[in-house]
């Protein structure tokens, strides 16, 4: 297996994980990975694969600024491919991008519920997402042009994630694994923030608790991310139905 084929397998697995965990519905959402100068692997639409949950082969290598005509036979390029192309072009330190539509951030976004430090040792990785909250892109429309993709890249300068209000989220990482785990954690903190808000809670962790729980050690962070990735890879393999926030709305 070549390096590109192995990476395509990771993009497909990440797609199945995000759908199994309830962050991606039907055929919407996509994962990308940098392959070389101006080139990326991207989860595309493929009529033989009914949605992200069942992604096996609908991954194509295309240019960052690929026109729709660059789609391989039997596939269609996602309209929102510009999110991926513009971020990978603007951020040489990242190698992967995730864009999905979770219920959790849809609710926090439209209701104006802040992502808050409400999870302690319950999930320190998710807590970190609230300590450095993602910027919010205020429009809910499709990111259907290079100009809108560039707006997302500019908004995310210095951030690993952003929330597209009424629409979804974007996360980036040095690897497919990292970008995917960041999306899972952002979903967790959004879910927790929404539930706490709806319960009328104003609880927030103290600064001393946050300082103790949120580590800045890259080795510790990477080990924890890999553990989460391995768990969800098996979860995706064994779980037939989507789960996650308000799964009955799937
Ligand atoms: Zn979208």
Band (pLDDT 50/70/90 cuts) for residue 243 is low
> What's the pLDDT at 248?
43
**141 alpha carbon to ligand 1 midpoint, in Å?**
8
From 6, 26, 56, 80, active-site residue: 80
**246 alpha carbon to ligand 1 midpoint, in Å?**
19
pTM, two decimal places: 0.92
> What's the pLDDT at 163?
97
Per the structure, the count of domains in the chain is: 1
CATH number at 107 reads 3.40.225.10
**99 alpha carbon to ligand 1 midpoint, in Å?**
6
Rounded CA separation 192/190 (Å):
5
> What's the pLDDT at 214?
86
Question: Tens digits of per-residue pLDDT, 57-94?
Answer: 889 999 999 999 999 888 999 999 999 999 999 999 99
Residue 142 lies in a domain: yes
For 35, counting Cβ atoms within 10 Å of its Cβ (0-12 exposed, 13-18 middle, 19+ buried), the class is middle
Domain with 147, as residue range(s), is 80-241
Cα distance from N-terminal residue to C-terminal residue, the chain: 35
User: What value does the mean pLDDT of the chain take?
Assistant: 91
Neighbours of ion ligand 1 (CB under 5 A): 80, 168
Residue 169 lies in a domain: yes
Would you call 80 a catalytic residue per the annotation?
A: yes
Band (pLDDT 50/70/90 cuts) for residue 101 is very high
**29 alpha carbon to ligand 1 midpoint, in Å?**
6
List 39's β-bridge partners, or say none.
Answer: 36, 63
Rounded CA separation 107/220 (Å):
31
> What's the pLDDT at 2?
84
């Amino acid at each position: 297996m070549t390096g590109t084929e192995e990476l395509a397998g990771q993009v497909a697995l990440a797609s199945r994980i995000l759908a199994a965990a309830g962050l991606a519905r039907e055929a919407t959402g996509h994962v990308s990975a940098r392959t070389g100068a101006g080139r990326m692997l991207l989860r595309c639409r493929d009529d033989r694969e009914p949605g992200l949950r069942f992604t096996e082969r609908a991954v194509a290598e295309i240019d960052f600024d690929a026109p729709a005509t660059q789609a391989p036979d039997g596939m269609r390029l996602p309209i929102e491919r510009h999110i991926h192309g513009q971020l990978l072009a603007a951020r040489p330190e990242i190698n992967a991008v995730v864009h999905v539509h979770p219920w959790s951030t849809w609710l926090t976004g439209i209701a104006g519920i802040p992502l808050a430090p409400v999870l302690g040792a319950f999930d320190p990785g998710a807590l970190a997402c609230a300590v450095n909250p993602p910027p919010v892109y205020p429009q809910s429309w499709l990111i259907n042009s290079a100009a809108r993709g560039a707006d997302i890249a500019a908004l995310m300068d210095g951030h690993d994630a952003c929330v597209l209000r009424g629409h979804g989220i974007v996360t980036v990482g040095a690897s497919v694994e990292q970008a995917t785990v960041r999306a899972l954690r952002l979903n967790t903190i959004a879910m927790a923030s929404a539930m706490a808000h709806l319960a009328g809670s104003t609880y927030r962790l103290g600064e001393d608790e946050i300082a103790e729980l949120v580590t800045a050690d890259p080795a510790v962070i990477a080990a924890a991310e890999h553990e989460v990735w391995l768990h969800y890879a098996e979860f995706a393999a064994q779980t037939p139905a989507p789960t996650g926030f308000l799964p009955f709305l799937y």
